Amino acid sequence: MSRFILALDQGTTSSRAILFDRNGRIAGIEQKEFPQHYPQSGWVEHDANDIWQSQLEVAQTLLRKQSITAGDIAAVGITNQRETTVVWDRKTGEPICPAIVWQDRRTAALCDRLRAEGKEDIFRRKTGLVLDAYFSGTKLNWILTNIPDARTRAERGELAFGTVDSWLIFKLSGAHVTDSSNASRSLLFDIHAGTWDAELLALLDIPAALLPEVVCSSGIAAQCDAGWFGAALPIAGIAGDQQAATFGQACLQQGMVKNTYGTGCFMLMQTGEQAFVSDNKLLTTIGWSMQRQDERHTCYMLEGSIFVAGAVVQWLRDGLGIIQHSNEIEALAAQAKDNGGVYFVPAFTGLGTPYWDPYARGSIHGLTRGASKAHLARAALESIAYQTADVLSAMQKDASIPLKELRVDGGASRNDLLMQFQADMLGVPVVRPQVTETTALGAAYLAGLAVGFWESEQEIVALWQTDRRFEPGRSDEQRKELLTKWHKAVSRSQRWLIDED
């Protein structure tokens, strides 16, 4: 009997492969970073072949180091950085240009034009998304418009478009598919009808021939070529990273909320089979879809998206050099008893929820001669918590369900100083699970359910266990004072690239 699920977790800055056993525990993990490219201000690119090669390498290395064969693996689950856009030649499998990363802002002007033409409500109503450069549809339009012969070749059916899940599945199996959670992040997919939408495709001038087939998040979608891992393996779970993390956190009841602290920061509330429309600039998105008794069931979510979270720590490491390793940030920040009046708005690529300002840029406020690198480190960590508080505020205005606790995961969730400050700023407990690799775990669960490795969602709920619970420890007055100054700092960063009269 197969002992493991292999999860491929393709992130913004690294690719990972993780083996999970039947108890949802990690049996082995491999990770490899790959290069980031910033050709112009606001542009972020990846080499799609770097993504593929790094992901394949960590998977093969993991199996070799753990002495695992294909016979030990029941299925493969894939989770991915969302919205990052890849276009490749269907015959050669080679990308026609660099992948445009979700953080990239080059299509902000196109979004402005569509908004000025009164098209925003069409996108909002059908996709649940705001009209923003964040999503893959405008990135795909840019590629078709700016890469020589791309549109002509696309219309002839020679090219394929996909987000990173599609790209990896194509390289592993030759199949051209995506799941509904990733499709829902494209500005091209009607989340209510569950189909690619002809009107949206026309608005962004995108040929339908480019698009992948949309399949369930849990279900056998393709078979890995036997050459990659020694035998054919079913790809049975697919979900965008934040939806996968929500599933991995066992947020399987309406009203449950998780927050993932990765390169960006993403808070999702599970809303069941009803797609709620946000009045506070949250996104309505598909969480996952499953086939049950010949019917596809779709779970929806409200989402708040923060573009820069863990990336601010990487900037302190790589840009300023005030730390050598990311895990040094907590000890450095703890040297300051408070932020010393310093506020750091990490709007390196604009601001997401609830501001949706692609023209904002990063800024640091309140510096004095007494400010130290410890204050800067603390301000950087606090910026993550403040942004999360902004998202939760919007979420609670939209939802009638009071938040009982926030389940957290991702790399920065291991930072106790940040998690305590987060609880202080939210006024609700913050709960960290024993397994914090919940993005990969969610992909594994989706795959495992499809092949009978786990029997039910109830079994998955029973596997979730608490590592630590952080209780709020500040008064409402203290919380309000800190957030008021944060919002003042944010106002100074907004519309930075816009010339004001």
263 is in an annotated binding site: yes
Count the Cβ atoms, other than its own, within 10 Å of residue 450: 24
Q: Is 438 annotated as a binding residue?
A: no
Instruction: Please identify which residue in the block is written with the tokens 């998780």.
Output: 258
Q: What is the maximal distance between C-alpha atoms in the chain?
A: 70
Output the six-digit token pair for 162.
Answer: 């996909």
CA 215, 102, 158, 222 torsion-angle sign: negative
Is 61 labelled as part of a ligand binding site? no
355 assigned to a ligand binding site: no
Query: For the purposes of burial, counting CB atoms within 10 Å of the CB of 406, is it exposed (0-12), middle (13-18) or buried (19 or more)?
Result: buried
Contact predicate 16/29, CB 8 Å: yes
Length of the chain: 501
Residue bearing tokens 């987060």 = 422
User: In b/e form, how buried is each residue of 55-93, taking b as 16+ CB within 10 angstroms?
Assistant: bbebbeebbeeeebebebbbbbbbbbbbbbbbbbeeeee
Q: Is 310 annotated as contributing to ligand binding?
A: yes
Is 287 within any annotated ligand binding site?
A: no
Q: Are 63 and 57 in contact (CB under 8 A)?
A: no
DSSP symbol at 278 = P
Cα–Cα distance measured from residue 394 to residue 490, given in angstroms and rounded to the nearest whole number: 16
Nearest-angstrom CA–CA distance, 155 and 131: 25
Q: What is the distance between the alpha carbons of residues 77 and 138, in angstroms, rounded to a whole number?
A: 28
415 annotated ligand binder: yes
> Do the annotations mark residue 289 as ligand-binding?
no
Tell me if 284 is assigned to a ligand binding site. Answer: no
Reported as half-sphere exposure (CB side, CA atoms, 13 A), residue 389 has a value of 24
Q: What DSSP designation does 148 have? A: T
Do the annotations mark residue 362 as ligand-binding?
no
Distance between start and end Cα atoms, the chain: 70
Cα-to-chain-centroid distance, residue 195: 22
Phi, psi (rounded to 5 degrees) for 370: -85, -5
Is position 16 annotated in a ligand binding site?
yes
Decide if 274 contacts 255 (C-beta within 8 A).
no
Q: Is 366 annotated as a binding residue?
A: no
Dihedral Cα 461, 181, 15, 218, nearest 10 deg: 50
CA separation for the pair 21, 8 (Å, rounded) = 15
For the annotated binding site, the residues are 12-14, 16, 82-83, 134, 241-242, 263, 310, 314, 411, 415
For the annotated binding site for sn-glycerol 3-phosphate, the residues are 12, 82-83, 134, 241
For the annotated binding site for ATP, the residues are 12-14, 263, 310, 314, 411
For the annotated binding site for ADP, the residues are 12, 16, 263, 310, 411, 415
For the annotated binding site for glycerol, the residues are 82-83, 134, 241-242
